[in-house]
């Protein structure tokens, strides 16, 4: 007989153990078989003689319960089925809560969504202090609300305002923070978790359930403010639904509050936003597991030799960001720049990034100090013979990069992989001077490196599978998501993004006001409009890349001239928070720069927001289709993922090549 995902046993002290261990997976996630098995388990304990207490525990190494399987939710046919799913879980957890004995959750590993709602149904929660233990309700992030009692039980445990904070933030918090926030009651070393949970269970069985102070209700103004803040965001819908259940449910008996939760959950679960966000969740998951099988005819080598010492050339914005990120992952780094002052600026920037990581609690002071110590600096390439990966991030200039490659070829060892961080130059041009072009690959990081999750892994015509495999493993080991593309000017993201920005400039030149263009795209979901994005990238950089695009796509890329004219007038966009571009940062950064009227060739033209969106998204879709037809990317999913992670495409739209953006 195959093993059940939930099993029970009662030990000699009268403690019933409910163990979650999905036999078909490394994780535990609620799905119909697991829910059915839990129902059986609870039924078995309901009538058990001599039962004093119950402990919930997972047999997995890193997961308590990761929540409900999103595949299950994505397949729900309609709102009635979603309501049924919510009721089933609520009823089951309710039976657990109503057992005549105390229920204690022993949490080790991720305890998310439905997993945490299960734990909330118990009387006490003990969490292991291991780093893999995280707790929270992330449903709002995928367009849902907790629908198995989380919106009702959490406010009754920690108060309405705190519960709203957790549910709207939709994040998993480490065990120590969960203890501080009252999400769990006790921490224990992982090795002692079961013992401590059992001790707590027996203590509660002997002394009675804990009497908890009634947490404070939140005033109506709190909810009004939260609703206002949420309404402008694309998490607005689920956030408003969660606030509703927390506020109205707070004044209702539990059963009625749960009915309200079901109603609001069902209203969201099969809606467009949730469907799209769940799709994005799976896209990201697939991206993290990307392989190179579709790119090479020959099989993968047995194991990709990992990189230990990374040489980074160019200590500017990108080079210093890459060096810091590699060091933060425990790699040895040599950072080289011909300009001593650039190295000093780079090191200052790296120090700042480590400090930031410390302040955010991502690293301890000692860790940051040690990692900083792992970065050596140099003004020459001499020391690079020890590197097994070199990433060049010098100025975007073919001749300079070729010269550098030729020098590198004389220094690095025969197994060293040579990577370029160029954002647009075809790899084959850069690799031309190298005697072994098979070891050249593109690693296109995005700015800022510590925050942008995407790396385009660019394969040149000669890149060997062994090189590509090592690079792929490297990107994954950095915690970044790779999207593999074939070398071609601008690869994918730079190419389509600058076609899009050029079209935005064309609209502007045709008289559509800056604020109308930006507001239309923001309203559609982009984090910022294209004119603002040009200011952020820099008018100079934008103009330069427009030039490159025109050079490489002479028959299709007709560069607009506004950026060139702005540059001539001394406008470079937002540089270090100051500066002047489509907006004026010294005055009011929210207001379009009044001096731009000097360039307007025609009277300002009104254009409906929908038309602006259609035109600009249309350019993105059209160019992406070409990229796919040319084989620069393999699948529309790759395109969707790259724009989501590399260009801030709004997740709530599901992806560029989906109907919402005109992609299908």
How many angstroms separate the CA atoms of 357 and 362, rounded?
5
Instruction: Determine the interface stretch with ligand NAI among 34-42, 190-198, 330-338, 609-617 (rule: CB under 6 A).
Output: 330-338
Residue number, 401 or 615, with CB nearest to ligand NAI: 401
Among 10, 48, 217, 317, binds ligand NAI (CB under 6 A): 317
Cβ neighbour number for residue 192 with a 10 Å cutoff: 13
Question: Shortest distance, CB of residue 461 to ligand NAI, whole angstroms?
Answer: 20
Q: Dihedral of CA 657/659/660/662: which sign?
A: positive
Q: What distance in Å separates the CA atoms of residue 115 and residue 69, rounded to the nearest whole number?
A: 11
User: Which CB sits closer to ligand NAI, 368 or 404?
Assistant: 404
Q: Please, what is the minimum distance in Å from the beta carbon of residue 447 to ligand NAI?
A: 3
Nearest to 327 by CA among 300, 350, 352, 344: 350
> Using CB under 6 A, which of the segments 254-262, 391-399, 524-532, 641-649 binds ligand NAI?
391-399
Rounded CA-CA distance 652/105 in Å is: 34
| Cα-to-chain-centroid distance, residue 27 | 20
- For 165-206, give the DSSP string: HHHHHT--EEHHHHHHTTSSSEEE-GGGHHHHHHHHHHHHHH
533 touches ligand NAI (CB under 6 A): no
Nearer to ligand NAI, 31 or 338 (CB): 338
Size of the site for ligand NAI (CB under 6 A): 23
Q: Measured from the CB atom, is 250 or 460 closer to ligand NAI?
A: 460
DSSP states of 92-161:
HHHHHHTSSS-EEEEE-SEEETHHHHHHHHSSEEEEE-STT-EEE--GGGGT----SSHHHHHHHHH-HH
CB-based contacts of 209, cutoff 8 Å, min separation 6? 102, 123
Nearer to ligand NAI, 421 or 464 (CB): 421
Minimum distance, C-beta of residue 393 to ligand NAI, in the bound complex (Å): 4
DSSP per-residue letters across 539-607 = HHHHHHHHHHHHHH-TTT----SHHHHHHHTT--EEETTEEESSBBSSS-TTSBPGGGGGG--S-----
The span from the CA of 372 to the CA of 573, in Å, is 32
Helix (H, G, I), strand (E, B) or coil at 110: strand
Question: Which uninterrupted H or E stretch holds 638?
Answer: helix 636-646
Interface with ligand NAI includes 573 (CB under 6 A)?
no
Name which of 301 and 527 has its Cβ closer to ligand NAI.
Answer: 527
Q: Which is nearer to ligand NAI, 179 or 349 (CB)?
A: 349
Q: Which stretch binds ligand NAI (CB under 6 A): 129-137, 214-222, 354-362, 420-428?
A: 420-428
Q: Is 540 in the site for ligand NAI (CB under 6 A)?
A: no
Given candidates 9, 231, 291, 447, which one binds ligand NAI under the rule CB under 6 A?
A: 447
Window contacting ligand NAI (CB under 6 A); options: 395-403, 473-481, 524-532, 652-660: 395-403
Active site residue 444: yes
Interface with ligand NAI includes 324 (CB under 6 A)? no
Q: What angle do CA 439, 427, 647 make, to 5 degrees?
A: 115
Residue 488 to residue 482: CA distance in whole angstroms: 17
Question: Of 166, 369, 444, 551, which is the active-site residue?
Answer: 444
Pairing of strands 134-136, 173-174: antiparallel
Task: Please select the residue that binds ligand NAI; options are 254, 263, 272, 396, rule is CB under 6 A.
Answer: 396
The answer to the question of residue 400 lying near ligand NAI (CB under 6 A) is yes
Using CB under 6 A as the binding rule, whether residue 230 contacts ligand NAI is answered as no
Q: Which of 7, 31, 84, 338 binds ligand NAI (CB under 6 A)?
A: 338
Non-local (6+) Cβ contacts of 608 within 8 A are: none
Minimum distance from residue 340 beta carbon to ligand NAI (Å)? 9
**Residue in the shown chain whose Cβ atom is closest to ligand NAI:** 316
- Can you tell me which of 178, 318, 475, 521 binds ligand NAI, judged by CB under 6 A? 318
Residues within window 341-380 making contact with ligand NAI, judged by CB under 6 A: 342
State both tokens at 60. 């997995």
Q: Is 394 in the site for ligand NAI (CB under 6 A)?
A: yes
Structure tokens at 411: 């220094």
In angstroms, what is the minimal distance from the CB of 347 to ligand NAI?
A: 12
Contact flag: residue 419 with ligand NAI (CB under 6 A): no
Q: Do the beta carbons of residue 152 and residue 245 sit within 8 Å?
A: yes
Half-sphere exposure of 284 (CA within 13 A, CB side): 16
Measured from the CB atom, the residue of 38 and 318 that comes closer to ligand NAI is 318
According to CB under 6 A, which one of 133, 421, 464, 559 is a site residue for ligand NAI? 421
Interaction between residue 411 and ligand NAI (CB under 6 A): no
Residue 318 or 419: which CB sits closer to ligand NAI? 318
What are residue 575's DSSP bridge partners? Answer: 578
* Residues 330 and 340: beta-carbon distance below 8 Å: no
Nearer to ligand NAI, 258 or 645 (CB): 645
Query: Shortest Cβ distance from residue 339 to ligand NAI (Å)?
Result: 4
DSSP 293: T
Candidates 339, 385, 587, 588; binder of ligand NAI (CB under 6 A) is 339
Q: In the range 257-316, which residues lie near ligand NAI by CB under 6 A?
A: 313-316
Q: How far apart are CA 133 and CA 109, in angstroms?
A: 4
Segment near ligand NAI (CB under 6 A), from 292-300, 335-343, 457-465, 609-617?
Answer: 335-343
Between CA 515 and CA 522 the distance in angstroms is 10
Interatomic CA distance for residues 18 and 118, integer angstroms: 12
Q: Does 336 bind ligand NAI (CB under 6 A)?
A: yes
Minimum gap (Å) between residue 387 Cβ and ligand NAI: 14
Q: Which residues bind ligand NAI (CB under 6 A)?
A: 313-319, 336-339, 342, 393-396, 400, 404, 421-423, 446-447
Which residues have a catalytic role annotated?
Answer: 444
């Amino acid at each position: 007989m195959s093993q059940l995902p939930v099993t029970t046993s009662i030990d000699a002290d009268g403690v019933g153990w409910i163990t979650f261990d999905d036999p078909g997976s490394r994780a535990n996630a609620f799905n119909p078989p697991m829910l059915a098995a839990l129902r059986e388990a609870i039924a078995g304990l309901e009538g058990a003689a001599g039962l004093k207490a119950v402990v919930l525990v997972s047999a997995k190494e890193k997961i308590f319960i990761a929540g409900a399987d999103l595949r299950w939710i994505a397949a729900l046919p309609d709102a009635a089925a979603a309501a049924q799913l919510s009721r089933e879980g609520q009823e089951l957890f309710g039976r657990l809560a109503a057992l005549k004995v105390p229920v204690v959750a022993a949490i080790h590993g991720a305890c998310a969504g439905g997993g945490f709602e299960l734990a909330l149904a118990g009387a006490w929660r003990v969490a292991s202090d291991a780093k893999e233990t995280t707790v929270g309700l992330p449903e709002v992030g995928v367009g849902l609300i907790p629908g198995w009692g989380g919106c009702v039980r959490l406010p009754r445990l920690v108060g309405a305002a705190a519960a709203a904070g957790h549910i709207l933030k939709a994040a998993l918090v480490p065990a120590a923070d969960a203890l501080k926030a009252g999400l769990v009651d006790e921490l224990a070393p992982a090795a002692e978790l079961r013992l401590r949970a059992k001790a707590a269970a027996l203590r509660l069985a002997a002394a009675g359930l804990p009497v908890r102070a009634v947490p404070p209700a939140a005033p109506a103004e709190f909810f009004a403010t939260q609703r206002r803040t949420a309404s402008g965001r694309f998490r607005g819908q689920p956030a408003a639904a969660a606030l509703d259940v927390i506020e109205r449910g707070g004044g209702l008996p539990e059963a009625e509050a749960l009915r309200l939760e079901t109603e609001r959950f069902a209203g969201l679960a099969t809606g467009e936003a949730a469907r799209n966000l769940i799709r994005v969740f799976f896209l990201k998951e697939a991206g993290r597991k990307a392989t190179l099988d579709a790119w090479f005819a020959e099989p993968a080598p047995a194991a990709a030799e990992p990189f230990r010492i990374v040489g980074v050339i160019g200590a500017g914005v990108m080079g210093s960001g890459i060096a810091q990120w590699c060091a933060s992952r425990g790699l040895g780094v040599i950072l080289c720049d011909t300009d001593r002052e650039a190295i000093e600026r780079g090191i200052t920037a790296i120090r700042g990034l480590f400090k930031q990581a410390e302040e955010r609690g991502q690293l301890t002071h000692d860790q940051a100090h040690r990692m900083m110590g792992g970065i050596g600096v140099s003004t020459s390439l001499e020391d690079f013979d020890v590197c097994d990966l070199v990433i060049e991030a010098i100025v975007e200039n073919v001749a300079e990069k070729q010269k550098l490659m030729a020098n590198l070829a004389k220094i690095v060892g025969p197994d060293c992989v040579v990577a370029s961080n160029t954002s647009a130059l075809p790899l084959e041009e850069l690799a031309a001077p190298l005697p072994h072009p098979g070891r050249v690959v593109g690693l296109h990081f995005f700015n800022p490196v510590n925050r942008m999750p995407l790396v385009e892994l660019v394969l040149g015509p000669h890149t060997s599978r062994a090189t590509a495999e090592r690079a792929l493993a490297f990107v994954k080991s950095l915690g970044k998501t790779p999207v593999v593309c074939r070398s071609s000017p601008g690869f994918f993201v730079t190419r389509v993004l600058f076609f899009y920005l050029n079209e935005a400039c064309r609209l502007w030149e045709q008289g559509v006001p800056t604020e109308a263009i930006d507001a239309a795209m923001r309203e559609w979901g982009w984090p910022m409009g294209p004119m603002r994005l040009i200011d952020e990238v820099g008018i100079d950089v934008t103009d330069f890349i427009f030039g490159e695009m025109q050079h490489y796509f002479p028959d299709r890329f007709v560069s607009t001239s506004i950026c060139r004219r702005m540059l001539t007038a001394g406008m470079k966009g937002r540089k270090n928070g100051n500066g002047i571009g489509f907006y004026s940062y010294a005055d009011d950064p929210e207001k379009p720069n009044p001096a731009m009227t000097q360039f307007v060739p025609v009277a300002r033209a009104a254009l409906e927001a929908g038309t602006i969106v259609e035109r600009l998204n249309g350019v993105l879709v059209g160019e992406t289709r070409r990229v796919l037809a040319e084989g620069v990317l393999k699948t529309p999913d790759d395109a969707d993922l790259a724009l989501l992670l590399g260009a801030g495409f709004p997740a709530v739209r599901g992806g560029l090549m989906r109907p919402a953006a005109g992609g299908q």
